[in-house]
Amino acid sequence: MREVAVVGVGMHKWGELWETSIRDMFVMAARNAMNDAGVDNIDSMYIGCMSGGLFAAQEHLASMLADYLGVLPAAAARVETACASAGLAVRMGWMEVASGISDIVLVGGVEKMTDITGDEATFALSTAADTEYEGYSGVTFPGLYAMMANAHMAKYGTTLEQLSQVSVKNHANGALNPEAQYPFPVSLETVMNSTKVAEPLRLLHCSPITDGAAAVILCPVELAKTKFKDHPLVVITGSGHATDTIALHSRADFTTIKAAEVAAKKAYAMAGVGPADIDFAEVHDCFTIAEIMVTEAIGFFEPGQGGPACERGETARDGSKPINTSGGLKSKGHPVGATGAAQIIEITRQLRGEAGKRQLKNPRRGLAQNMGGSGGSSLVHILEVR
- Active-site choice (49, 83, 206, 219): 83
Neighbouring-strand partners of residue 239: 381
CB of 379 to its own copies, least distance (A): 9
Range 351-380, binding its own copies (CB under 8 A): 372-373, 376-377
Classified as helix, coil or strand, 348 is helix
- 95 binds its own copies per the rule CB under 8 A: yes
Strand 234-243 to 105-111 pairing? unpaired
The contacts of residue 118 (CB under 8 Å, 6+ apart) are 209
Q: Are 239 and 94 spatial neighbours (Cβ–Cβ below 8 Å)?
A: yes
Is residue 284 helix, strand or coil? coil
Cα(240)–Cα(234) distance, integer angstroms: 18
286 catalytic per annotation: no
CB of 44 to its own copies, least distance (A): 8
Best CA proximity match to 83, nearest among 305, 262, 329: 329
Number of residues that bind its own copies (CB under 8 A): 61
The CA-atom distances, in angstroms, between 333 and each of 165, 286, 294, 338 are 18, 9, 18, 10
Q: Does 341 bind its own copies (CB under 8 A)?
A: no
CB 25 within 8 A of CB 244: no
Query: x/- site string to its own copies, residues 223 to 262, per CB under 8 A?
Result: ------------------xxxxxxx--x-------xx--x
Minimum distance between the CB of residue 59 and its own copies, rounded to whole angstroms? 4
Candidate segments 77-85, 113-121, 212-220, 312-320, binder of its own copies by CB under 8 A: 77-85
From 57-65, 110-118, 154-162, 206-214, give the range in contact with its own copies by CB under 8 A. Answer: 57-65
Distance CA 10, CA 275 (A): 28
Task: At 25, give phi and psi (nearest 5°).
Answer: -60, -45
Contact with its own copies (CB under 8 A): which of 35, 41, 101, 356?
Answer: 101
Considering only residues 107 through 126, tell me which ones interact with its own copies, judged by CB under 8 A: 123-124
* Chain residues in the site for its own copies (CB under 8 A): 1, 21, 44, 50-54, 56-60, 62-64, 66-67, 72-82, 88, 92, 95-96, 98-101, 123-124, 127-132, 135, 241-247, 250, 258-259, 262, 372-373, 376-377
